[in-house]
């Protein structure tokens, strides 16, 4: 499970940014959780998300420092995985 510190807020429509080196291209799905907490200490996104790895690899990418590429995907294109 990949942990993301905070989403990309994008004007109220949150996205996830996942470093390409964290993605296993042989895996059918990529699962991640956003561990960001609001000022009251509550997790804004309490459940993990899942997206097909093939879809994630085709998403918009951007280079950040030290040669790392981040793949960006809107959370609306991901499936929220609720705990039973």
pLDDT band at 65 (very low <50, low <70, confident <90, very high): confident
Query: What pTM was computed for the model?
Result: 0.88
Residue 10's pLDDT is what?
83
- Please name the helix (run of DSSP H) or strand (run of DSSP E) that holds residue 54, with its range, or none: helix 53-57
What secondary structure letter does DSSP report for 59? S
Nearest by Cα to 52 from 20, 23, 82: 23
**pLDDT band of 12, cuts 50, 70, 90:** confident
Q: Is the pLDDT of residue 84 over 60?
A: no
| Domain parsing of the chain, residue ranges | 2-80
Q: Please say if the pLDDT value at position 59 is more than 60.
A: yes
pLDDT of residue 11: 85
Looking at residue 83, its pLDDT comes to: 66
């Amino acid at each position: 499970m990949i942990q993301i510190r905070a989403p990309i807020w994008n004007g109220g429509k949150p996205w996830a940014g996942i470093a390409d080196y964290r993605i296993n291209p042989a895996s059918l799905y990529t699962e991640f959780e956003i561990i960001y907490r609001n000022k009251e200490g509550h997790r804004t996104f309490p459940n993990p998300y899942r997206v097909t790895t093939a879809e994630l690899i085709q998403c918009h990418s951007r280079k950040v420092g030290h040669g790392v590429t981040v793949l960006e995907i809107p959370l609306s294109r991901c499936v929220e995985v609720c705990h039973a």
